[in-house]
């Protein structure tokens, strides 16, 4: 009995020591890794392909280094011009997409490039019910964006432009962490 | 009296240094590099081949997917870097041109890739045209500006090069530092060039990017060599080989140390022979030819010169070896009209001090010394500090009996003995 | 003999000069920056619905052959930004950086400063989780912290699917293409990316019903 206690004690001490030293090691590890310092922004993104479509080439550098809270003021007009130049579904000022957003309202929304994510409900780009509450791996984000850009009020306009007909990933995702499929 | 003794001591010191440089200490050791020469597998090449095959198949199956053209071209450029086979570079060009057509010349990244291909082919004017389009497009403008610096410097447009260097100034950044270094070297400030490249090396080391590290180790090894720091030079070529055992540029660098510093032509040739089994750039034949000549093996020398001439008959090389050819025509075959024609072509394409040096040197060979001097004084002197050009000017001064100017150049040339090689070092002694 | 020497002398100049010309010319490496290009960003509820998952991908269109050799840039920090009060300014960040084949995750923490410049300070035992980068071809290595965070870093299948090329052709006014093909071609099929995945208990993200989030890459100065 005594020996068992002793062994337990040793194991216990061992565990404590181990976790302690592990913690210390981590910290030291991290300090030694020499990561401390100042870092300057190179690139940023939230919604997929938005930058590619709505930001003119000459403004891409500026867009990537404008903080989201200032993007709307700086880029909404450009987004609107590029949206109306691109999509016949917004030819008239009263035209809107399926979210009821006119060119001005939609470009105002898009030009702040953040992903809106629900912390209390379903997270999806669009699943038929929930709209823009996150971005899951299997979401067909491009088709959703194309529908909102080209599809008009009821998704029926410009059918040739509003779906790229690539509806799913080439391999299945994992049901659990890290969720992304193994590399090819 | 005291000063005289000092002077004497000083002279003895200098003399002993001079004699040192005659019989240099051995720096290299077969044990350090033999493992890299005896390699059976070239891992980098296997990866590049696999990558190439993958994108080739993808594109074959989906010929409309132009991003695959860019990936295929990138793998071909990598294969060119690893093998020296020019056809890879030409194939890459075809795909890059096609992808830029499909994107209406409106993708700055694609344009920069094409410009890079042209730069590798020494087609600098075409690179410039493409980069101007990328500059107007504006995406990743800084990357375009960095390449505009490279291109203008190659084209001899110093003002524009300076403008773009200033536009990209950031002393904490790799891309800028390596260009500032090149700029310093261009202006004959080797110490600054080394400083800047050492700073760039520190960044590459902290980034742990294998490609960058290889590039920076081999380039700084070159600079250390030019600066007479042969041991450091050797060590950095070895560092590059540690990262990539098939880095042929590093092997060539070691061969040069063995030949030029240790005066061991047989070992240098052994290193080169093992290197060229995998890497087939034409200039290796010329390097072999020089070493053969040093060994008084004229048969081997002309074999290699002929190999060189034969190899560059391939039209794919385009203008890449025109400068080499001009030199060969003038010096080896006394065909001055061809040599002049090629030198003029080089000047038309890139009016750099080194292109004018080619012209001046051709006039010198033709014994038109005054013409040679006129060209050299107008376009070469104080515009480049490359030892080869300075040596040519020195020979021109000597031919014209201008001892004063010759004396000014000689000390620096003597210092460049390692960089210029033992054959030329002998000629410098005779100046 | 004299003649021979002379000849030898001249030709030696030739060849040596030629060598220098070529030795001098070694092109600059490709301009850096591609290692900091973000290809994609995801944010979704985890399998355990108390958790939120963030994914950032860099270095897209990797062929299988090129994947084993692809590496995160150790000078580039990936930073997840989280705004939990609706002003599109980050209230929390998760900072991610690689050292020696290991990925370090710090956060979610309140950043020292918001915006384009970030600092990373080594207070790791309190806020950090680390994980070995999963080598290509091996089972995913998952790092876990005491406060319920899971982390992963390494190559994965690119989860994005899109007929990128056809879209490019439609956008090009000189190209006759005016619509997508049916079926389209998934440009990203069969290719890999370098991924960073972090799963965080929602309680560590504040107590709002929704967040705004985006990802940035930042270069060490």
Residue spans of the domains in chain B: they are 170-245, 255-315, 319-431
Range of the domain at A100: 50-150
- Chains with 3+ CB–CB pairs under 8 A to A are B, C
Give the span between the Cα atoms of B285 and B306, in whole angstroms: 9
pLDDT tens digits for B130-156?
Answer: 999 999 999 999 999 999 999 999 999
φ, ψ dihedrals at B398, nearest 5°? -60, -45
Q: What is the mean pLDDT of residues A156-183?
A: 97
**C210/A116 CB distance under 8 A:** yes
3-class SS at C118?
Answer: strand
Domain total for chain A?
2
* Lowest-pLDDT range of A5-19, B223-237, C62-76, C88-102: A5-19
Residue C221 has pLDDT above 50, yes or no: yes
Query: Which position has the higher pLDDT, A32 or C180?
Result: C180
Any chain B CB within 8 A of the CB of C61?
A: yes
Residue B181 has pLDDT above 60, yes or no: yes
pLDDT for C24 = 41
What is the band of A22 on the pLDDT scale with cuts at 50, 70, 90? very low
Which candidate in B146, B224, B424 is best for mutational testing of the C interface (most C CBs within 10 A)? B424
Residue C12 has pLDDT above 50, yes or no: no
Between CA A58 and CA A64, with CA A60 as vertex, the angle to 5 degrees is 150
Give the span between the Cα atoms of B58 and B65, in whole angstroms: 9
Which candidate in B44, B164, B289, B317 is best for mutational testing of the C interface (most C CBs within 10 A)? B289
Of C40, C83, C181, Cβ closest to residue A114: C83
Residue C143 CB partners (closer than 8 Å, separation 6+):
C103, C105, C129, C130, C131, C132, C150, C151, C152
Residue B15 has pLDDT above 70, yes or no: no
In a domain, A120, yes or no: yes
Give the span between the Cα atoms of C175 and C171, in whole angstroms: 8
What is the band of B16 on the pLDDT scale with cuts at 50, 70, 90? very low
Nearest partner of B380 among B401, B394, B368, B400, judged by Cα: B394
pLDDT for C31 = 74
Q: How many CB atoms lie within 10 A of CB B309?
A: 17
Report the CATH superfamily, name and number, of domain B319-431: Tetratricopeptide repeat domain (1.25.40.10)
The rounded Cα A64 to chain-centroid distance in angstroms is 15
pLDDT for A14 = 40
pLDDT for A25 = 59
In this structure, the dihedral spanned by the alpha carbons of residues B417, B422, B428 and C1, taken in order and rounded to 10 degrees, is 170
Q: CA of A1 to nearest chain C CA: how many angstroms apart?
A: 33
Contact between A90 and A83 (Cβ < 8 Å): yes
With the C-alpha atoms ordered A55, A59, A62, A67, is the resulting torsion angle positive or negative? negative
Residue B22 has pLDDT above 90, yes or no: no
Contact between C44 and A134 (Cβ < 8 Å): yes
Q: What is the mean pLDDT of residues C91-108?
A: 93
What is the band of C26 on the pLDDT scale with cuts at 50, 70, 90? low
> Please, what is the end-to-end C-alpha distance for chain A in angstroms?
55
Domain boundaries, chain C: 35-55+64-156+196-219
**B206/A59 CB distance under 8 A:** no
In a domain, A104, yes or no: yes
φ, ψ dihedrals at C57, nearest 5°? -115, 140
Q: What is the mean pLDDT of residues A6-17?
A: 42
In a domain, A174, yes or no: no
Residue A23 and residue A74 share a domain: no
pLDDT for A20 = 37
With a pLDDT cut of 90, the percent of chain C lying above it is: 69
Residue C2 has pLDDT above 60, yes or no: no
pLDDT for A79 = 97
What is the band of B388 on the pLDDT scale with cuts at 50, 70, 90? very high
Q: What is the mean pLDDT of residues A72-92?
A: 95
- Is ipTM strictly over 0.90? no
Fill in the DSSP letter of residue A97: -
pLDDT for B56 = 98
User: Chain B residues with CB inside 8 Å of C184's CB?
Assistant: none
Contact between C51 and C45 (Cβ < 8 Å): yes
Contact between B240 and B36 (Cβ < 8 Å): no
Residues in chain C: 221
Residue B227 has pLDDT above 50, yes or no: yes
**B143/C24 CB distance under 8 A:** no
Which candidate in A33, A52, A61, A166 is best for mutational testing of the B interface (most B CBs within 10 A)? A61
Within chain C, what is the greatest distance between any pair of CA atoms?
96
**C219/A165 CB distance under 8 A:** no
pLDDT for C33 = 63
Residue B431 has pLDDT above 70, yes or no: yes
pLDDT for A37 = 86
What is the band of A8 on the pLDDT scale with cuts at 50, 70, 90? very low
User: Chain B residues with CB inside 8 Å of A59's CB?
Assistant: 138
Residue A15 has pLDDT above 60, yes or no: no
pLDDT for B17 = 45
pTM of the full structure: 0.90
pLDDT for B1 = 44
Q: How many CB atoms lie within 10 A of CB A19?
A: 11
In a domain, A144, yes or no: yes
Strand-pairing partners, residue C97, are C104
Residue A59 and residue A6 share a domain: no
Q: What is the mean pLDDT of residues C61-84?
A: 95
Strand-pairing partners, residue C131, are C103
pLDDT tens digits for B272-298?
Answer: 999 988 888 898 999 999 999 999 999
Give the span between the Cα atoms of C51 and B85, in whole angstroms: 53
Tokens describing residue B347: 């000047």
Residue C36 has pLDDT above 70, yes or no: yes
Strand-pairing partners, residue C109, are C93
Strand-pairing partners, residue C201, are C51
With the C-alpha atoms ordered C41, C47, C49, C51, is the resulting torsion angle positive or negative? negative
Give the span between the Cα atoms of B406 and B417, in whole angstroms: 17
Residue B336 CB partners (closer than 8 Å, separation 6+):
B329, B330, B362, B365, B366
Q: CA of A96 to nearest chain C CA: how many angstroms apart?
A: 21
What is the band of C125 on the pLDDT scale with cuts at 50, 70, 90? low
**Helix/strand/coil percent split, chain B, to 5:** 80, 0, 20
pLDDT for C174 = 84
In a domain, A184, yes or no: no
Which residues of chain A from 138 to 157 reach within 8 Å of chain C, CB to CB?
Answer: 140, 142
Nearest partner of C62 among C188, C152, C184, judged by Cα: C188
Residue A33 CB partners (closer than 8 Å, separation 6+):
C99, C100, C102, C104, C122
Residue with tokens 């540029």: B249
Q: What is the mean pLDDT of residues B297-305?
A: 94
Nearest partner of B77 among C78, A100, C30, judged by Cα: C30
User: Chain B residues with CB inside 8 Å of A62's CB?
Assistant: none
3-class SS at A135?
Answer: strand
What is the band of C122 on the pLDDT scale with cuts at 50, 70, 90? low
With a pLDDT cut of 70, the percent of chain C lying above it is: 85
Which residues of chain A from 50 to 89 reach within 8 Å of chain C, CB to CB?
Answer: 53, 65, 67-69, 86
Tokens describing residue A32: 């030694």
Q: Domain spanning B170-245 has what CATH number?
A: 1.25.40.10
Nearest partner of B66 among C160, C169, A167, C190, judged by Cα: C169
Q: Which helix (H) or strand (E) holds C90?
A: none
Q: What is the mean pLDDT of residues B106-129?
A: 95
Q: How many helices (H) and strands (E) does chain B have?
A: 25, 0
φ, ψ dihedrals at B167, nearest 5°? -65, -25
**B138/A34 CB distance under 8 A:** no
Inter-chain CB pairs, B–C, below 8 Å = 171
Residue A135 and residue A69 share a domain: yes
pLDDT for B40 = 73
Residue with tokens 């062929």: C63
Residue A13 has pLDDT above 60, yes or no: no
Average pLDDT over all residues of chain C: 87
**A180/C55 CB distance under 8 A:** yes
Residue A12 has pLDDT above 70, yes or no: no
What's the burial of B19, exposed, middle or buried (CB within 10 Å: 0-12/13-18/19+)? exposed
Q: What is the mean pLDDT of residues B298-309?
A: 93
In a domain, A138, yes or no: yes
pLDDT for B253 = 95
Tokens describing residue B144: 């375009």
φ, ψ dihedrals at C108, nearest 5°? -65, 130
pLDDT tens digits for A105-164?
Answer: 999 999 999 999 999 999 999 999 999 999 999 999 999 999 999 999 999 999 999 999
Highest mean pLDDT of the ranges B80-89, C27-36, C81-90 = C81-90
């Amino acid at each position: 009995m005594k020996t068992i206690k002793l062994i337990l004690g040793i194991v216990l001490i061992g565990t404590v020591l181990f976790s302690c030293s592990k913690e210390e090691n981590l910290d030291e590890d991290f300090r030694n890794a020499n990561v401390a310092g100042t870092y300057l922004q190179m690139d940023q993104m939230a919604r997929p392909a938005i930058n590619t479509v709505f930001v003119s080439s000459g403004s891409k550098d500026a867009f990537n280094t404008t903080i989201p809270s200032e993007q709307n003021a700086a880029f909404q007009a450009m987004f609107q011009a590029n949206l109306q130049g691109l999509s016949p579904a917004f030819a008239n000022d009263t035209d809107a997409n399926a979210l009821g957003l006119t060119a001005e309202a939609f470009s105002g929304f898009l030009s702040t490039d953040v992903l809106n994510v629900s912390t209390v409900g379903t997270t999806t780009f669009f699943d038929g019910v929930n709209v823009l509450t996150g971005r899951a791996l299997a979401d067909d984000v491009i088709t959703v964006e194309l529908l909102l850009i080209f599809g008009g009020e009821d998704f029926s306009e410009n059918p040739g432009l509003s779906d790229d007909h690539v509806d799913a990933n080439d391999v299945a995702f994992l049901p659990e962490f890290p969720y992304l499929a193994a590399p090819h | 009296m005291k000063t005289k003794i000092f002077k004497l001591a000083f002279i003895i010191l200098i003399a002993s240094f001079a004699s040192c440089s005659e019989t240099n200490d051995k720096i290299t050791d077969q044990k350090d590099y033999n493992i890299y020469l005896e390699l059976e597998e070239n891992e980098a090449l296997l990866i590049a081949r696999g990558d190439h095959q993958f994108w080739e198949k993808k594109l074959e199956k989906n010929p409309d997917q132009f991003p695959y053209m860019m990936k295929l071209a990138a793998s071909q450029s990598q294969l060119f870097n690893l093998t020296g086979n020019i056809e890879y570079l030409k194939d890459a060009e075809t795909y890059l041109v096609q992808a830029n057509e499909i994107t209406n010349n409106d993708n700055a990244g694609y344009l920069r890739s094409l410009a890079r291909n042209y730069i590798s082919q020494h087609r600098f004017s075409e690179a410039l045209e493409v980069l101007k389009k990328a500059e107007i497009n504006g995406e990743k403008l800084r990357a375009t500006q960095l390449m505009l610096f490279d291109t203008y410097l190659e084209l001899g447009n110093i003002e524009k090069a300076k403008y773009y260097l200033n536009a990209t100034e950031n002393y904490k950044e790799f891309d800028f530092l390596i260009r500032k270094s090149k700029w310093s070297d261009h202006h004959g400030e080797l110490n600054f060039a080394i400083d800047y490249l050492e700073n760039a090396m520190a960044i590459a080391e902290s980034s742990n990017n294998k490609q960058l590290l290889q590039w920076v180790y081999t380039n700084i090894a070159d600079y250390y060599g030019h600066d007479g720091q042969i041991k450091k030079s050797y060590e950095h070529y070895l560092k590059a080989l540690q990262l990539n055992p098939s880095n042929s540029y590093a092997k060539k660098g070691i061969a040069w140390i063995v030949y030029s510093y240790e005066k061991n032509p047989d070992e240098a040739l052994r290193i080169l022979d093992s290197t060229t089994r995998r890497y087939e750039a034409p200039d290796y034949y010329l390097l072999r030819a020089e070493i053969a000549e040093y060994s008084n093996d004229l048969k081997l020398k002309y074999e290699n010169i002929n190999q060189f001439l034969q190899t560059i008959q391939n039209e794919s090389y385009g203008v890449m070896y025109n400068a080499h050819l001009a030199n060969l025509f003038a010096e080896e075959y006394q065909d001055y009209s061809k040599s002049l024609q090629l030198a003029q072509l080089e000047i038309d394409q890139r009016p750099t001090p080194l292109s004018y040096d080619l012209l001046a040197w051709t006039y010198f060979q033709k014994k038109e010394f005054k013409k040679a001097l006129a060209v050299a004084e107008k376009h070469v002197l104080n515009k480049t500090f490359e030892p080869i050009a300075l040596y040519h000017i020195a020979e021109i001064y000597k031919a014209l009996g201008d001892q004063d100017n010759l004396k000014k150049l000689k000390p620096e040339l003597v210092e460049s003995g390692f960089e210029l090689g033992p054959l030329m070092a002998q000629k410098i002694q005779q100046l | 003999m004299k003649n021979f020497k002379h000849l030898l002398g001249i030709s030696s100049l030739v060849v040596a000069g030629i060598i220098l010309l070529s030795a001098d010319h070694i092109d600059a490496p490709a301009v850096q920056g591609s290692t900091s290009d973000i290809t994609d960003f995801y944010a979704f509820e985890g399998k355990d619905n108390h958790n939120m998952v963030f994914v950032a991908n860099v270095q897209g269109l990797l062929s299988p052959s090129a994947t084993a050799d692809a590496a995160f840039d150790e000078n580039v920090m990936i930073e997840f930004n989280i705004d939990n009060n609706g002003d599109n300014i980050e209230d929390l960040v998760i900072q991610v950086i690689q050292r020696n084949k290991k990925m370090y995750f710090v956060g979610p923490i309140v950043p020292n400063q918001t915006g384009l410049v970030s600092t990373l300070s080594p207070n790791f035992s309190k806020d950090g989780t680390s994980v070995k980068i999963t080598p290509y071809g091996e089972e995913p290595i998952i790092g876990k912290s005491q406060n319920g965070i899971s982390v992963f870093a390494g190559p994965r299948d690119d989860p994005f699917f899109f007929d990128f090329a056809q879209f490019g052709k439609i956008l090009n006014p000189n190209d006759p293409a005016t619509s997508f093909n049916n079926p389209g071609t998934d440009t990203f099929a069969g290719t890999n990316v370098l991924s960073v995945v972090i799963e965080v208990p929602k309680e560590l993200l504040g107590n709002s019903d929704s967040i705004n989030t985006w990802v940035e890459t930042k270069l060490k100065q």
